[in-house]
Chains A and B, each alone.
Chain A
Amino acid sequence: DQQVKQNSPSLSVQEGRISILNCDYTNSMFDYFLWYKKYPAEGPTFLISISSIKDKNEDGRFTVFLNKSAKHLSLHIVPSQPGDSAVYFCAVLVGNKLVFGAGTILRVKS
């Protein structure tokens, strides 16, 4: 059973608007969450993370929100830019290892 779920395989957004990528997890004991971004033919790169002691973390245009009661986190990108078009993976730290979701393809249209 998947411990981390990204239920939207793809998302299309107009340049300048907000992109919201969602992720659900199964275990309320998970306490550290990360987002990675991946371009075609490249490896994933770390984007932003959040600890369970927080409910929000910002880094420039990227903000991650954590809703522990719903076991849900989301990544907001404002404003979206064409260069943000990529696959976004949500990941959770389980013990000493990262468990990834299946990814969401974001397309930002200019």
Chain B
Amino acid sequence: NAGVTQTPKFRVLKTGQSMTLLCAQDMNHEYMYWYRQDPGMGLRLIHYSVGEGTTAKGEVPDGYNVSRLKKQNFLLGLESAAPSQTSVYFCASSGTWGGGNEQFFGPGTRLTVL
């Protein structure tokens, strides 16, 4: 099993450009998440999904959109990238919700917006 994979690993964008980050998991997990990690701030939840066809906002959703058309995939979109979105993005999935929830993380996507 590959676990959680993310595409691409690195990307450089110019301000105003758009892009989509792809997350895939092969563990048949219901729940998927997108986080961003910035220096000194830990991981912050952007959006999450509790199942195929559902999405919900996390702590820092502005400037991002998501879609979960298939259970195994969770896409994060940036419609008009800004320098403030320079960060490392992590996708995660879990099979349960609440106590005992162990989230499995992908390797991350390092995004730079110039």
Residues of A within 8 A of B (CB): 4, 6, 9, 31-32, 34, 41-46, 49, 51, 89, 93, 96-103
Contact = CB atoms under 8 A, between A and B. Distances in A.
Interface SS of chain B: helix, strand, loop or mixed? loop
Interface string B92-114: 10000111111111111000000
Contacts of A93: 98-99, 101
5 contacts: A4-B42, A51-B99, A89-B42, A96-B98, A97-B45
What interface size band does chain B fall in?
20 to 34
Contacts of B42: 4, 6, 89, 100-103
Interface SS of chain A: helix, strand, loop or mixed? strand
Contacts of B100: 32, 49
Contacts of B69: none
